């Protein structure tokens, strides 16, 4: 049964799920005015491939319980850069060194960025 999470509620829920699994450097980028692809990117880091997989698995499990199914999941097996696409939110879960190398958050200089502690 699909719940009626607002977009902001979904962003906040995902952030809390990431925090629960000890994800680091969590940020959201509000890109809806710059691209038709999605409304938000959520980006976080994990220290190991196992941790990034655990974060992704937890998000997928809890959101599925709320009736939210992803449009796609990429990179889970390798665990270095996992992408989960929910349409309105695309989640990027990076191993720390891979995130630093790609610098995805720096490609969107003109967007609203929110950092979560």
The four Cα atoms 109, 10, 16, 18 give a dihedral, to 10 degrees, of -60
pLDDT computed for residue 5 by the predictor: 83
pLDDT computed for residue 2 by the predictor: 59
Domains of the chain: 7-116 (3.30.460.10)
Angstrom distance (rounded) from CA 94 to CA 72: 17
Asked if the model's pLDDT at residue 1 lies above 60, the reply is no
pTM: 0.94
Average pLDDT score over the chain: 94
Q: Which residues pair with 115 in a beta bridge?
A: 27
For residue 106, CA distances in Å to 18, 29, 51, 84, 102 come to 21, 10, 24, 20, 9
pLDDT computed for residue 107 by the predictor: 85
């Amino acid at each position: 049964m699909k719940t009626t999470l607002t977009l902001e509620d979904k962003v906040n829920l995902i952030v809390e799920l990431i925090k629960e699994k000890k994800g680091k450097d969590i940020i959201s980028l509000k890109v809806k005015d710059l691209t038709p692809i999605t409304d938000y990117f959520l980006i976080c880091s994990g220290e190991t491939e196992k941790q990034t997989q655990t974060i992704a698995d937890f998000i997928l499990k809890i959101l599925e319980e709320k009736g939210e199914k992803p449009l796609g999941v990429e990179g889970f097996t390798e665990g270095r850069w996992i992408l989960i696409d929910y349409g309105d939110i695309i989640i990027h879960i990076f191993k720390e060194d891979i995130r630093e190398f790609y610098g995805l958050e720096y490609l969107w200089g003109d967007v609203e960025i929110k950092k979560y502690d």
